[in-house]
Structure 1
C-alpha cells in the first residue's frame, strides 16, 4: 500500500490564478519531501475555481521542480483528443522525467456542455468510440500495431526508454472492464461515487490478471475534529453553490463561508452543514479509523488522496498529518 495525491488545482479567494498554479508545484515538492508516491493533476474545463484544463503543461512545470515522485494526469479525457497526440505528449514527458510518468485516462466531459462542444465534435459519439480510442492509444504506447495497420510505421516520437504507466479512471463496471480489456491499471473515483466502490473494484480484480487497483478518496484532516469540520464547511459552500449553478469562482475562506451561509435559506444551510459522506473529515484518529476500514473493505494497492480546503496551508497540513498517520504507506 502507498499514498499518493490527486490535485485539482483549486483557487482560494485570497489567491490569484498565477499564485494558485505556482502553489500546485509547491505542494508537489512538499509531497515528494513527505514521501508520497505519486502526484497527479486532474483535467477540468470552464470551472473558475479549478485551474487544470491542461494537466500536461502543469506536469512539465512540476517535473522540473521535483526529482523522484511519480507524476501523472488524473485523467486525460480521451474523448476530447486524438490518441496519437496524447501518446506523443506523454512520451515526451516520459523522456523529460524518466521512470516517473503516469497517464491516467477518463471518459467524462470534465466541464460544461459548451466546453465539450468547443473541445470535440459530438462528444457522445466520441464516448461511444472510447474502446477504439484506448486500443489505438495503447498500440502507440506499446508500439505493437499489426503490420497491416495504417499506423504500423508511425511512431509517437520521441520514444522513451521507459514508457508511461497507463491507468483507467472511472466509477463503473464498464470502466473497470475497459481497463481489464486493455491491460491497464484501474483507479476507482471513490470521492465521486462511494456506493459502488466494492462492486466495481471486485469486478476489475476478477477480470484483470496483474493490474493494480487504486481508490481515489477525499480526505480533510486537521488537528481537531472541530477545525476539520470548519474547513470542510467552506468547501461545502463552494460545492453546493456549484451544484446550484451559482459558482463562486473560488473556495471561500472560513469567514467568507460563514457570511455566505447567513444569506442562504434554511434548507441549503442544512445541506451544507450536514456535509457529504464521500469526504473523510476529522482529526488524525478519526481519519485513520475511516481509512483503515476503507482499505480493508476495498482491498486496494494504493490510496490516491484528494484534499480541498480554503488555503494551501490547510491542504498541506492535511497531507502532512496523513503522512504521520501512515508512515509505512509513504515511500521515503
Structure 2
C-alpha cells in the first residue's frame, strides 16, 4: 500500500460514515402497490429525519413484488414530501430510453428541487426478456449503444449536446444540474464512469466480484469533467440490522425468501460479502472495515426485509449506531 493511499484510509476512518438509502419499493405480503408507494414516501421522510444523505429508488418492470417502474414520477412525489435530502434513481435503465427524454425528466426534477437531484443510470434490463422487448425492442442492441447513450446524457446535462448538427437543450434548464452517477458491478461500468468524469456506485449487494479492483480502476482512469473534478465513489451494500444477532438472522432468512419470490434472485446470493447482518454495533463495524478496504466514506444501503416496520427499524438502528456519538 502506498503512503498516499494509507493517508487517505486513515482520514476516511476518522470521519463519520455517510449513509444513503436505495429503495426497491417492495410490495410485501398483504399489501398492494399503492401501499408500497406510500411506504416509500415514509421511508424517504424518515431517512431525511435520521440524517441519511440520499434516498434513491430503483427501476424494475413487470415484477409483482416491486412497485417502481417510473423513478422520475415517484421522485416528483418524494421531493414534495421531503425538504433537503438528495433524491435520485438507482438506477434509470438507460438502454430502454433516448438520452434527451432522460435528461428532460431529470432537468424537470432539478428545476422543481434545486440542488437535490441525482441521476443514477445503469444498463440492466430490469425485467424478463419479453418485458424488455415490449418496452424498448431489442435490448442487447441497445446495450451495445451504452457508450453513445451515456455520452448523450452527459452532454445534455452539461449543455453541449448536438444532434445532426443542431444544438439541442434538455428543458427546463435547472439552476443546478443533476449529479450524474453510473451504477455497476464490474470494471466495464467503472470504465464508462471514469471516461465521462461521472460518479460511480459499485453494487456490492448484487455483484459476484469484490470491489477493490473495480474501484481502483475507476479512480486510476478517471477523467475530470464539468460533471465532477475528482472521482467520487459509493458502495451499495445489503444490510439487515436488528437488536440481536438472532433477530437479524431471522429477518435475513425471510428477506432471502422474499427476494427469490419478488425478482427470481437465488437464495445463495445472500452471504457475508453481499449482505451485512447483525446488531447495530456489528453492522457499523463491518461498514467501517469496508470503508477502509474500499477507501470510500459513503454507502447506499439496501434493506429488503419483508416487513415494513422491521425495515424502518433497521434503518433507525443503523443511523443511531453510526451517528450517535
Deviations 1:227-278 (A, max 9, x none): 11111111111234467x6x9xxxxxxxxxxxxxxxxxxxx9xx67x95331
Aligned-partner Cα distance in 1 for 2:49–2:148 = 40
From the superposition, tell whether residues 310 and 242 of structure 1 become closer, same or farther in structure 2 (CA, over 3 Å). Answer: closer
Quote the residue 2:31 is aligned against.
Answer: 15
Quote the residue 1:201 is aligned against.
Answer: 215
Q: Does 1:185 align with 2:219?
A: no
Runs of 4+ residues deviating >4 angstroms? none
Query: 5 Å matches for 1:138-287?
Result: 138-145=154-161, 149-150=163-164, 152-193=166-207, 195-208=209-222, 209=224, 210-241=230-261, 275-277=270-272, 278-287=274-283
Residues 259 and 304, structure 2, Cα contact 8 Å, conserved in 1: no
| Structure 2 unmatched ranges of 5 or more | 1-16, 225-229
Aligned-partner Cα distance in 1 for 2:190–2:287 = 22
From the superposition, tell whether residues 18 and 197 of structure 1 become closer, same or farther in structure 2 (CA, over 3 Å). Answer: same
Q: Count residues in correspondence.
A: 302
Q: Does 1:303 align with 2:299?
A: yes
Query: 5 Å matches for 1:84-99?
Result: 84-99=100-115
Residues 171 and 196, structure 1, Cα contact 8 Å, conserved in 2: no
The worse-fitting range, judged by mean Cα deviation, of 291-300 and 124-133 is 291-300
Aligned-partner Cα distance in 2 for 1:231–1:175 = 32
Aligned-partner Cα distance in 2 for 1:292–1:7 = 22
Quote the residue 1:319 is aligned against.
Answer: 315
Question: Of the two structures, which has the highest relative contact order with CA contacts closer than 8 Å and spacing of 6 or more?
Answer: 1
Q: What secondary structure sits across from 1:216 in the alignment?
A: strand
Residues 212 and 301, structure 1, Cα contact 8 Å, conserved in 2: no
- Measured after TM superposition, the shift of residue 138 of structure 1 is 1.2
- Measured after TM superposition, the shift of residue 101 of structure 1 is 0.3
What is the root-mean-square deviation in Å for CA atoms of aligned residues? 2.0
Deviations 1:291-323 (A, max 9, x none): 111111111131000001121111111111111
Q: What secondary structure sits across from 1:292 in the alignment?
A: helix
Query: 5 Å matches for 1:73-112?
Result: 73-112=89-128
From the superposition, tell whether residues 83 and 229 of structure 1 become closer, same or farther in structure 2 (CA, over 3 Å). Answer: same
Residues 161 and 169, structure 2, Cα contact 8 Å, conserved in 1: no
- Measured after TM superposition, the shift of residue 192 of structure 1 is 0.5
- Measured after TM superposition, the shift of residue 82 of structure 1 is 0.5
- Measured after TM superposition, the shift of residue 46 of structure 1 is 1.5
Aligned-partner Cα distance in 1 for 2:40–2:262 = 22
From the superposition, tell whether residues 84 and 51 of structure 1 become closer, same or farther in structure 2 (CA, over 3 Å). Answer: same
What is the aligned counterpart of 2:46 among 27, 30, 42? 30
Residues 204 and 236, structure 2, Cα contact 8 Å, conserved in 1: yes
Q: What secondary structure sits across from 2:22 in the alignment?
A: strand
Q: Does 1:62 align with 2:74?
A: no
Q: What secondary structure sits across from 1:160 in the alignment?
A: coil
Deviations 1:47-98 (A, max 9, x none): 1111111111110010000000000000000000000000100000000101
Aligned-partner Cα distance in 2 for 1:152–1:86 = 19
Q: What secondary structure sits across from 1:280 in the alignment?
A: strand
Q: What secondary structure sits across from 1:326 in the alignment?
A: helix
| Structure 1 unmatched ranges of 5 or more | 248-267
Aligned-partner Cα distance in 1 for 2:87–2:215 = 23
Residues 258 and 306, structure 2, Cα contact 8 Å, conserved in 1: no
Quote the residue 2:13 is aligned against.
Answer: none
